[in-house]
Structure 1
Amino acid sequence: MSLQWEDKEVHFDIPYSKMRLILGEKVIDKLDNIEDTKGNGGDKGRMIITNIRLLWHSLRTPRVNLSIGFNCILSSSTKIVNSRLKGTTQALQLLTISNGTRYEFIFTNLIPGNTRHFTSVMGVHKAYNSSKLYRELRLRGGVVHNKQLKILPQEQVVSTLHGVWNLSSDQGSLGTFTVSNVRFVWFADVNEGFNISLPYLQIESICIRDSKFGTALVITSSEMSGGYILGFKVDPEEKLQNLFKELTSLHTVYTTKPIFGVEFQSYSGKDDVESNNNLTEEYEVLEDLKGEISNTITAYLADEGHTKDEIPVYSPELGLAVERIKEGYTIQKLWEVIPS
């Protein structure tokens, strides 16, 4: 298993099924009276900040919503804007990129003097960026110091095995294999900078196979992390089997309860904390209207770097030459976003 699109993409007007929390996702803060000033000015909404993304939906029309993965955010700052509901005020500005397209989002807290959304979004985004070892493969990273693993805040070391051969080269390299509750790490004895850290989130499969070095432990990383095939030689056979069982068991446990490593202490009150637990129930009652889309997507575009137009192509639907449509869009969908 691995995170799919939730933390890596921006989505507009998604069905409630995609707004529900996935395994390992937790609500950190939730705020009402938040205006999506750029795309839905004049519309009160609710902002939900989780450990992997930012959600917003209109209180009047819940199917008008946003999902912004924290991995998409290029920068977060404050900006003076003119809100339809609050007038001239300071707002939160997010510049993002998703599937090659840049978007700008502006959120205004309609409660006078309340800037909690600044603190929460910026704080969680910082925590997300500083915890990537929980979610991403690292090759030759700074994960070991003086032959000791640098343990992450929520990490617990389960076992450490010396004398493990990494079979990535023709000769193999002898090193140390450490297993924890969130990842495994191997590093070479002669050069600790030659290492690999692979979280269970990015493991596709674990098996025992024959190799030119004999029976080996083979771990395949997910396609999203590069699809690496990693081989390790452990002697005697009993130790190899024990390591295989241990990794398989920990991977299975992790799959049912992932740890993304994003920790941030919210300043929300007791009522907010209690309502966070009912988030998925709230989305159960929203209409799942397929094919509908709000009339504001183009308002979010932030293509300051645009220098020249695409080569036009013929559109049989319109009978005209038009700019090439971006992947995932159709003429019909683009027509629907034009305000009537």
Structure 2
Amino acid sequence: MALTWEDKEVRFDIPYSRMKLINGEKVIDKLDNIEDTKGNSGYRGKFIITNIRILWYSSTSPRINLSIGFGAVLSTSNKIVNSRLRGTTQALQILTASKGTRYEFIFTNLVPGNTRHFTSVMGVHKAYNSSKLYRELKLRGAVVHNKQLKILPLEQVISTVHGVWNLSSDQGSLGTFIVTNVRFVWFADINEGFNISLPFLQIDTISIRDSKFGTALVITSSEISGLYVLGFKVEPEEKLRTLFKELSSFHTVYTTKPIFGVEYNWSSGQVEHKFNNIVDEFEPFDENKNEISNSISNYLADEGHTKDRMPVFNSELGLAVETIKEGYTLQKLWEVIPS
């Protein structure tokens, strides 16, 4: 499927192939002269905002880069920082959490008075958070009102099938099955609050199998959405097979051209057409060759950090240094590439 890690994780110094846009990913804004103040202070870089993540790479060496999925972003705010290239100035602070580790990123626009990176990132992050039904499974959600599906902005209803049994319980529940261009929704006729909304993005397999209720439509969700196995029965069987073919067809179409639901235009709407191939500007490089970059520890964010740790004498350096954070050693902090 199109979305795997790109919108959910923070990754450092990824290969050229991982910087390229995936199916359904669109560039919303692109800025030159952005400094990664916390990890690569003193170096200019390019800053790309897509509908699912933030990409930053060094102008002098694209091997030094960042990929920050909007699903990993906890908050965005302004922060006064000391930039090597701008001095004391206002910067964009992004706090993230990825695979159990919290990271802090600070980006400074080196063009005086230009704060577009603030508005673009904050706007797209808000749009990402408000469009989760395009990308995530939802159980017992507020997706139906008065037996009518609440249509999403980019959604179109393809078909509505009544008299569909959900086989999740011993007795089964009778309800309505709706197929759209981005998901399927089923809800119980006697209680519309008993429902499921599963986007094509999170469907792993669609099949027809035998069950104790007879021939059934079986839909398996992806591992990231919990590996749910959902069974539905429709009579007559010919009607079930028609629903299976329709669902399979739209799932295939969606896979080649997914809709992530994140829409944000900061200007006249021409951004996408101007910048959608911007990552092609990279000069291809040897993905097996290591490039010098800052230690990932530069970006670690101390949870609840309010003041610097007490200085202690370090015999290796012969200097007083701030107490090293638990779990780290001096050698680790000096490593360019973790051993």
So what's the TM-score if we normalise by structure 2? 0.88
Query: What is the deviation of 1:162?
Result: 0.6
| Equivalence for 2:106 | 106
Q: Is the 8 A contact 2:295 2:334 kept in 1?
A: no
Q: Is the 8 A contact 2:2 2:22 kept in 1?
A: no
| Equivalence for 1:281 | 280
Q: Give the whole-Å Cα distance in 1 for the aligned partners of 2:31 and 2:251.
A: 35
Query: What is the deviation of 1:4?
Result: 1.2
Q: Give the whole-Å Cα distance in 2 for the aligned partners of 1:279 and 1:111.
A: 20
Q: Is the 8 A contact 1:56 1:67 kept in 2?
A: yes
Q: Give the whole-Å Cα distance in 2 for the aligned partners of 1:334 and 1:204.
A: 43
Q: Give the whole-Å Cα distance in 2 for the aligned partners of 1:254 and 1:269.
A: 24
Query: What is the deviation of 1:3?
Result: 1.6
| Equivalence for 1:320 | none
* SS of the residue 2:282 aligns to: helix
Superposed, 1:114-263 pairs within 5 Å as 114-263=114-263
Asked if residue 64 in structure 1 is aligned to residue 64 in structure 2, the reply is yes
Q: Is the 8 A contact 2:297 2:333 kept in 1?
A: no
| Equivalence for 2:300 | 301
Deviation digits for residues 220-272 of structure 1 (CA, Å, limit 9, x no counterpart): 000110000000000011110100000000000000000000000033896x6
Q: Give the whole-Å Cα distance in 1 for the aligned partners of 2:54 and 2:232.
A: 40
Query: What is the deviation of 1:50?
Result: 0.4
- Relative to structure 1, is the Cα distance of residues 208 and 17 closer, same or farther in structure 2, using a 3 angstrom cutoff? same
Q: Is the 8 A contact 2:295 2:335 kept in 1?
A: no
- Relative to structure 1, is the Cα distance of residues 88 and 282 closer, same or farther in structure 2, using a 3 angstrom cutoff? same
The count of residues paired between Structure 1 and Structure 2 equals: 318
Q: Give the whole-Å Cα distance in 2 for the aligned partners of 1:293 and 1:259.
A: 37
* SS of the residue 2:259 aligns to: coil
- Relative to structure 1, is the Cα distance of residues 264 and 166 closer, same or farther in structure 2, using a 3 angstrom cutoff? same
Q: Give the whole-Å Cα distance in 2 for the aligned partners of 1:178 and 1:196.
A: 10
Query: What is the deviation of 1:63?
Result: 0.9
* SS of the residue 1:206 aligns to: strand
Query: What is the deviation of 1:87?
Result: 1.2
Q: Give the whole-Å Cα distance in 2 for the aligned partners of 1:216 and 1:293.
A: 56
| Equivalence for 2:313 | none
* SS of the residue 2:3 aligns to: coil
Q: Give the whole-Å Cα distance in 2 for the aligned partners of 1:123 and 1:101.
A: 25
Q: Is the 8 A contact 1:160 1:177 kept in 2?
A: yes
Query: What is the deviation of 1:287?
Result: 4.4
Question: What amino acid sits opposite 1:302 in the alignment?
Answer: A
Q: Is the 8 A contact 1:13 1:293 kept in 2?
A: no
Asked if residue 13 in structure 1 is aligned to residue 7 in structure 2, the reply is no
Q: Is the 8 A contact 1:17 1:283 kept in 2?
A: no
Query: What is the deviation of 1:304?
Result: 2.9
Q: Is the 8 A contact 1:182 1:254 kept in 2?
A: yes
Asked if residue 97 in structure 1 is aligned to residue 75 in structure 2, the reply is no
Deviation digits for residues 296-328 of structure 1 (CA, Å, limit 9, x no counterpart): 42111112358xxxxxxxxxxxxxxxx878xxx
Q: Which runs of 5+ in 1 are unaligned?
A: 307-322, 326-330
| Equivalence for 2:38 | 38
| Equivalence for 2:24 | 24
Q: Give the whole-Å Cα distance in 2 for the aligned partners of 1:199 and 1:274.
A: 27
* SS of the residue 2:193 aligns to: coil
Question: What amino acid sits opposite 2:246 in the alignment?
Answer: E
Question: What amino acid sits opposite 2:8 in the alignment?
Answer: K
Q: Is the 8 A contact 2:16 2:287 kept in 1?
A: yes
* SS of the residue 1:239 aligns to: helix
- In angstroms, what is the RMSD of aligned CA positions? 2.3
- Relative to structure 1, is the Cα distance of residues 189 and 131 closer, same or farther in structure 2, using a 3 angstrom cutoff? same
* SS of the residue 1:336 aligns to: coil
Q: Give the whole-Å Cα distance in 1 for the aligned partners of 2:298 and 2:250.
A: 45
Q: Give the whole-Å Cα distance in 1 for the aligned partners of 2:269 and 2:165.
A: 52
Deviation digits for residues 10-44 of structure 1 (CA, Å, limit 9, x no counterpart): 11111111100011111000000111111111111
Q: Give the whole-Å Cα distance in 2 for the aligned partners of 1:135 and 1:209.
A: 26
- Work out the percentage of aligned pairs sharing the same amino acid: 75
Q: Is the 8 A contact 2:216 2:231 kept in 1?
A: yes
* SS of the residue 1:24 aligns to: coil
Q: Give the whole-Å Cα distance in 2 for the aligned partners of 1:324 and 1:303.
A: 13
So what's the TM-score if we normalise by structure 1? 0.88
Question: What amino acid sits opposite 1:108 in the alignment?
Answer: T
* SS of the residue 1:171 aligns to: coil
- Relative to structure 1, is the Cα distance of residues 214 and 274 closer, same or farther in structure 2, using a 3 angstrom cutoff? closer
Q: Is the 8 A contact 1:11 1:68 kept in 2?
A: yes
Q: Is the 8 A contact 1:20 1:283 kept in 2?
A: no
